[in-house]
Amino acid sequence: QVQLVESGGGLVQPGGSLRLSCAASGIIFSTNGAGWYRQAPGKQRELVAVISSGGRTVYADPMKGRFTISRDNAKNTVYLQMNSLKPEDTAVYYCNIGGRILSTSVYIRGDYWGQGTQVTVSS
């Protein structure tokens, strides 16, 4: 059974930082793409960032220069470092495993999702 356990969400002031983690089990992590998506109330789930098995990354435009996705295959974990957070970043953030990057503008989601972790940016 594939299990994805997320952690690191919480409440932060505008301009602050958070680091999300997603630990995977039941899957060969090193050969799978990984990513983060988010969903705000009343909105569709959207791409935050993805990273391929080879380390190639793609970021959605609002996150460029502020967020960094990385992976540690020895720990079967993907991370999302979030800096300069804004109120519009408030959402539930979901880890996703098994996707692929086809180009800078074309990517597919994987079949496996974490439980989601709430990120709230508010003064």
**Which of 8-17, 27-36, 66-75, 101-110 has the lowest average pLDDT?**
101-110
Phi, psi of 73 (to 5 degrees): -65, -30
Residue 105 pLDDT more than 90? no
DSSP 5-72: EEE--EEE-TT--EEEEEEEESS-GGGS-EEEEEE-TTS--EEEEEE-TTS-EEE-GGGTTTEEEEEE
pLDDT tens per residue, range 30-68:
999 999 999 999 999 999 999 999 999 999 999 989 999
For residue 74, what are the CA distances in angstroms to 18, 25, 96, 101?
Answer: 22, 12, 18, 22
Tens digits of residue pLDDT in 58-83 = 999 999 899 999 999 999 999 999 99
Determine contact, residues 33/100, Cβ cutoff 8 Å.
yes
Map tokens 């356990």 to a residue: 5
